[in-house]
Amino acid sequence: MRSEIITNIDNPGFLERLYRSDKKDFKKEFLEIYTQVKERPVAGFWYERLNYESDEISWGTKSEWVFVIFASLIAGILAKLPDIFTISEEFYYSRNISFLVFPFLTAYFCWKNNLTTKNIAIVTSIFLAGLIYINILPGSAETSDTLLLACIHTPLLLWMTFGLSFTADKIHDFGNRLRFLRFNGDLLVMSAILVLAGILMSGITLGLFNLIGMEIEEFYFRYIVLFGLPAIPIFATFLTHTNPQLVNKVSPVIAKIFSPLVLVMLIIYLGAIIYSGKDPYNDREFLLIFNLLLTGVIALIFFSVAESIKKGKLSSLWVLLPLSVVTIIVNAVALSAILFRISEWGFTPNRLAILGINILFLVHLIIIALRLFKILFKKSEVSIVEKAIAAYLPVYLVWICIVVFVFPFLFGFK
């Protein structure tokens, strides 16, 4: 499509037909080649058209509201099942909490993207198989490491399945995968706003009822809050999809502000580790927190790169390259600590799981850093970073499936 746009940049009729044939792909390709054709009058018109955003908030259609309300009620009822059937809360929530959200988000995009019957059957089968599997695994999350790992990685598996519905029949398009990552960033921002609004509303409500001598805390948290929590990501998905302009300017600002701050923090943190004498090689809790920090930083890098590619701003990449390099150093420290613990005390499910994900992180970060270097110093196309991020996502999926479905049997459900 890119070559067709360039060749026919002075042919408005052809461009209109090309746009109507695939609007998302047209917009992506046009914005990437805009700097080459921006001197043409037609190019300026299309640039303004594709980047126009209405200031008005869209509240969707009646059918969308029916879906959101119905899905929220069903999710709330599912969240109340331990009370209704006296099921152990520890058993139920540890295994099923992700099933209170992701099936409904997936169903929303199956509907909005008009997924084929085959694709709907695939995502439905994954959810049903995951639901049955995680609930028949023996043991409890408190005593079985493999079960705990399966419970932690199942939400990631369902998130990947959610991505299938979002990208529809274009899962192999790297641009679509990157748009999915950007959508998740916007979704997190919108969900955080709704959570803050909910906390404010709850505080006002409980305060007003306490003033008249009515203590409704137990009822409020057992019914209102429990129904409201799974509804937040559902409502946030609806708002983000119908009104992308609400947060798509906030997310890049967050990424732009926090990327340099995190870079400075990591440099100081590495020095503070040496100064404090903390030892990730023998301190298990410290190593765990260290890996959680690493995961958060890598997520920020992925999101920031996705936003930079979307905006076409290379200036942000000058922060992301050193951030990637410093994160590689942090990852190397964590990886060496894990290898040390394995050499001293042998393999366990937790150590093997952390070892695997750290190796994947390290390889991915090195690939991204090399691509960023090529863009900044060898003037390569920005799309090579897009491919570096998007093409690697299936590797994470394979490892998630191994942890969820192989580890319990490999370690005898221990």
Higher-pLDDT residue of 27, 218: 218
- pLDDT at position 37: 79
Residue 310 CA to residue 273 CA, distance in Å, equals 36
Lowest mean pLDDT among 113-122, 230-239, 266-275, 399-408: 266-275
126, 160 in Cβ contact below 8 A? no
Q: Residue 5 in 3-state DSSP?
A: helix
By residue count, the chain amounts to 414
User: Do 29 and 147 lie in a common domain?
Assistant: no
Nearest CA to 301 out of 333, 260, 264, 268 is that of 260
Instruction: Say whether pLDDT at 397 is over 90.
Output: yes
Residues 6+ apart with CB under 8 A from 372: 305, 317, 320, 321, 324, 385
User: Do 259 and 328 lie in a common domain?
Assistant: yes
- pLDDT at position 99: 95
Does 318 fall in a domain? yes
Q: What is the dihedral of CA 26, 28, 32, 38, to 10 degrees?
A: 50
- 28 exposed, middle or buried (CB, 10 Å; 0-12, 13-18, 19+)? buried
User: Do 325 and 180 lie in a common domain?
Assistant: no
- Return the amino acid letter for 320: L
Residues 6+ apart with CB under 8 A from 311: 252
Instruction: Say whether pLDDT at 313 is over 70.
Output: no
Residues 6+ apart with CB under 8 A from 12: 42
Lowest mean pLDDT among 76-80, 309-313, 341-345, 376-380: 309-313
Does 385 fall in a domain? yes
User: Do 238 and 253 lie in a common domain?
Assistant: no
Q: Which of 222, 245, 268 is the last residue of a domain?
A: 245
Once rounded to an integer, what is the mean pLDDT over residues 260-269?
A: 86
Number of structural domains the chain divides into = 3
User: Do 215 and 142 lie in a common domain?
Assistant: yes
Nearest CA to 335 out of 356, 365, 364, 366 is that of 356
305, 389 in Cβ contact below 8 A? yes
- pLDDT at position 312: 55
% the chain with pLDDT above 90: 33
Task: Please provide the average confidence, as pLDDT, over all residues in the chain.
Answer: 85
- Inter-helix orientation angle 41-50/23-37, to 10°: 140
Q: How confident is the model at residue 314 (pLDDT cuts 50, 70, 90)?
A: low
Does 127 fall in a domain? yes
- pLDDT at position 42: 82
User: Do 192 and 227 lie in a common domain?
Assistant: yes
Does 351 fall in a domain? yes
- Return the amino acid letter for 83: D
User: Do 115 and 9 lie in a common domain?
Assistant: no
% the chain with pLDDT above 70: 93
Residue 118 CA to residue 304 CA, distance in Å, equals 34
Task: Look up the domain containing 150 and give its range.
Answer: 62-245
Residue 381 CA to residue 394 CA, distance in Å, equals 23
Q: How far is CA 410 from CA 130, 205, 347, 399, in A?
A: 18, 51, 12, 14
For residue 181 the two structure tokens come to 């990552």
Measure CA of the first residue to CA of the last residue in the chain; give whole Å.
53
Q: Which of 183, 210, 245 is the last residue of a domain?
A: 245
Residue 110 CA to residue 246 CA, distance in Å, equals 23
Residue 150 CA to residue 156 CA, distance in Å, equals 10
Once rounded to an integer, what is the mean pLDDT over residues 200-213?
A: 91
- Return the amino acid letter for 213: G
User: Do 174 and 263 lie in a common domain?
Assistant: no
